[in-house]
């Protein structure tokens, strides 16, 4: 199960990955929007906007980065 495999590994925030990869936080957010394994915490407040906290496990970040590298190379 994916959750058990990633529970105790390093998790990155959107801002951390954007800084490491040298891209915008909006790009990282869209890149990981529907990626399996990404952890999203919701804070619902009646009558106010819902806040989301996104955490990206290191293995998921590596998987996406590898996929982007392959696409860039044309593999």
- CA–CA dist 15, 45 (Å, integer): 24
Task: State residue 73's pLDDT score.
Answer: 83
Neighbour count for residue 66 (Cβ, 10 Å):
11
Q: What pLDDT, in 10s, does the model give residues 2-25?
A: 556 888 999 999 999 999 999 999
- CA–CA dist 4, 9 (Å, integer): 10
Total structural domains in the chain? Answer: 1
DSSP states of the chain: -HHHHHTTS-EE-HHHHHHHHTS-HHHHHHHTTT-TT-EEEEE--TTSPPEEEEEEEHHHHHHHHHHHHHHHHT-
What range defines the domain where residue 24 resides?
2-73
How high does pLDDT run on average in the chain? 91
The pTM score is 0.82
Q: How confident is the model at residue 61 (pLDDT cuts 50, 70, 90)?
A: very high
């Amino acid at each position: 199960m994916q959750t058990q495999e990633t529970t105790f590994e390093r998790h990155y925030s959107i801002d951390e990955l954007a800084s490491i990869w040298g891209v915008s936080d909006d790009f990282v957010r869209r890149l990981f929007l529907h990626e399996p394994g990404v952890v999203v915490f919701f804070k619902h407040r009646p009558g106010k906007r819902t806040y989301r906290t996104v955490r990206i496990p290191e293995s998921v970040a590596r998987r996406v980065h590898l996929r982007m590298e392959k696409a860039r190379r044309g593999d």
